[in-house]
Structure 1
Amino acid sequence: MGMTGENVWVTVPEGLVTLSDRRTGRSWPVEVGSCLLAAHPVTQAWYAHVTGDRPSSAHGDRLPVESVSWWDAVRFCNSLSLREGLTPAYRLPCGDGGGGDGVGAGWDASANGYRLPTEAEWEHACRAGTTGARYGELDEIAWHRGNSGERLREVGGRRPNSWGLYDMLGGVWEWCWDLYDSEVYGTYRVLRGGGWFDERWSCRASVRRRSHPTLRIDDVGFRVARSL
């Protein structure tokens, strides 16, 4: 585990994860390489430090940033990379103001900059070697509707998984890089993890959600990864 700038980083080991989709009943294995993953979602203080913006509807430096679109998340990654002298991971359409549908955004896998985790990386990191629905007792590891008081809570307040990652379940849903199902849902991107207003069922390692990359809502944020 290491520290850079505003965050703590966890080295996620390589491994094999099996993704599944409840809607289609399909499951598929994915091999993932080792990566760095932020120990908790991007906070409002960190987002403001990098971008100068405070878009969230709730306010607090240690609260996860929310009301951020997928576009906002990938632009944050590029901005953070440039601040630290790294090569941005994403090629974004010229003049894109975040109103696009995600077409034209490309990922340079050879770049050393910051990025969103892939869906497979996210689930592999969330599980941390476990095979059940969750990596611990839900009330101990996550803020959800049953214990959040129906409001956003600060990052790091629940027990982490065995790899040192906090709030992988509950808190805010997290944007991933991947398209959900381009044939059925077009440019919709994957969301993972469940949020502070979700019932227990939604806060599981395998649950997949999707939304348009322009969505901004008060229970969606993101965390940052970096390839090794």
Structure 2
Amino acid sequence: MQTIQAGSVTIADRRTERSWTVEVAPFLLSPLQVTCRAIGEAYGFEVDGDDLLPATSTSWFDAVRFCNRISELEGLQPAYAITGEASSAEAGESGPGEREAVVWDRAADGYRLPTEAEWEHACRAGTTGPRYGELGEIAWYRGNSGERLHRGGELAANAWGLYDMIGNAWEWCWDIYDAAVYRDYRVIKGGGWFDEHWSCRAGVRRRTMPTLSIDDLGFRVARNMPR
């Protein structure tokens, strides 16, 4: 886990033409996206194919359950209270989670998803432009990916030691995108291996249903700073 320093970030939404600034406290963030191997080890099953690829085809519900799972394995307090129908992630598959409700205990020391503000602050790593480096040097996108997913860490990291914040696979964030319009749709960030260059920028924010599992959408984990 990398230490991410405190700061502030301005989030802009092109759809509504709104922007807002969020103060971000220091926190910890994984330098790579969660891999298939990590999922398999957490739930005790073997992964077919390259297990060092990012764990895509995981729903938002699967991601929060994984956070709780590894928190429990490491003796940490799980960040999420989850009620309702269980996702089949515990069986090593991506499941619907359609009747689940998730509440975040913000004081817990366990693993969790980053907020959108934390994610963008970490991605930018003190930069102010659309990206933290030249696109082809930092990101797998449609122009160089061969239209496939790649192992994490093969391209350049940002100044804070984080890889693939842009490109390779979109990443789930904790936040609801716009409850008034899209109900429980969650924010995804970063762009993916099939996206054109204009979608692979630090400030791009998209949304999708939390039950979606698709081959260019994964996640990385965060934790509160230890007290």
Identity of aligned residues (%): 60
Partner SS, residue 105 of structure 1: strand
In the alignment, the residues of structure 2 paired with residue 192 and residue 109 of structure 1 have an alpha-carbon distance, to the nearest angstrom, of: 21
Q: Deviations over 1:95-114 (max 9, x none)?
A: 43253457621000011000
**Which residue of 2 is the match for residue 212 of structure 1?**
209
1:115 correspondence with 2:105 = no
Q: Deviations over 1:48-90 (max 9, x none)?
A: 111235788xx31221011000000000000000000000000
Give the aligned residue type for 2:133: G
**Which residue of 2 is the match for residue 171 of structure 1?**
168
Q: Deviations over 1:124-180 (max 9, x none)?
A: 000000000000000000000100000111100010000000000001000000000
TM-score normalized by the length of structure 1: 0.92
In the alignment, the residues of structure 1 paired with residue 114 and residue 99 of structure 2 have an alpha-carbon distance, to the nearest angstrom, of: 16
Give the aligned residue type for 1:37: L
In the alignment, the residues of structure 1 paired with residue 171 and residue 115 of structure 2 have an alpha-carbon distance, to the nearest angstrom, of: 11
In the alignment, the residues of structure 1 paired with residue 97 and residue 197 of structure 2 have an alpha-carbon distance, to the nearest angstrom, of: 33
In the alignment, the residues of structure 2 paired with residue 211 and residue 41 of structure 1 have an alpha-carbon distance, to the nearest angstrom, of: 19
Query: 1:34-45, aligned counterparts within 5 Å?
Result: 34-45=26-37
1:180 correspondence with 2:180 = no
- Using a 3 Å threshold, how does the CA distance of structure 1 residues 192 and 69 change in structure 2: closer, same or farther? same
- Using a 3 Å threshold, how does the CA distance of structure 1 residues 55 and 175 change in structure 2: closer, same or farther? farther
Q: Deviations over 1:172-223 (max 9, x none)?
A: 0000000000000000000000000000000000001111100000000000
Q: Which of 156, 159, 170 lines up with 2:156 in the alignment? A: 159
User: Which is worse superposed, 86-95 or 33-42?
Assistant: 86-95
TM-score normalized by the length of structure 2: 0.93
Q: Which runs of 5+ in 2 are unaligned?
A: 88-94
Q: Which of 129, 132, 137 lines up with 2:134 in the alignment? A: 137
- Using a 3 Å threshold, how does the CA distance of structure 1 residues 27 and 102 change in structure 2: closer, same or farther? farther
In the alignment, the residues of structure 2 paired with residue 103 and residue 76 of structure 1 have an alpha-carbon distance, to the nearest angstrom, of: 15
In the alignment, the residues of structure 1 paired with residue 212 and residue 47 of structure 2 have an alpha-carbon distance, to the nearest angstrom, of: 13
- Using a 3 Å threshold, how does the CA distance of structure 1 residues 67 and 173 change in structure 2: closer, same or farther? same
Q: Which of 38, 58, 61 lines up with 1:68 in the alignment? A: 58
Counterpart contact for 1:18–1:28, Cα < 8 Å: yes
Q: Which runs of 5+ in 1 are unaligned?
A: 1-8
In the alignment, the residues of structure 2 paired with residue 104 and residue 26 of structure 1 have an alpha-carbon distance, to the nearest angstrom, of: 28
Give the aligned residue type for 2:65: R
In the alignment, the residues of structure 1 paired with residue 130 and residue 204 of structure 2 have an alpha-carbon distance, to the nearest angstrom, of: 9
- Using a 3 Å threshold, how does the CA distance of structure 1 residues 145 and 55 change in structure 2: closer, same or farther? farther
In the alignment, the residues of structure 2 paired with residue 224 and residue 100 of structure 1 have an alpha-carbon distance, to the nearest angstrom, of: 20
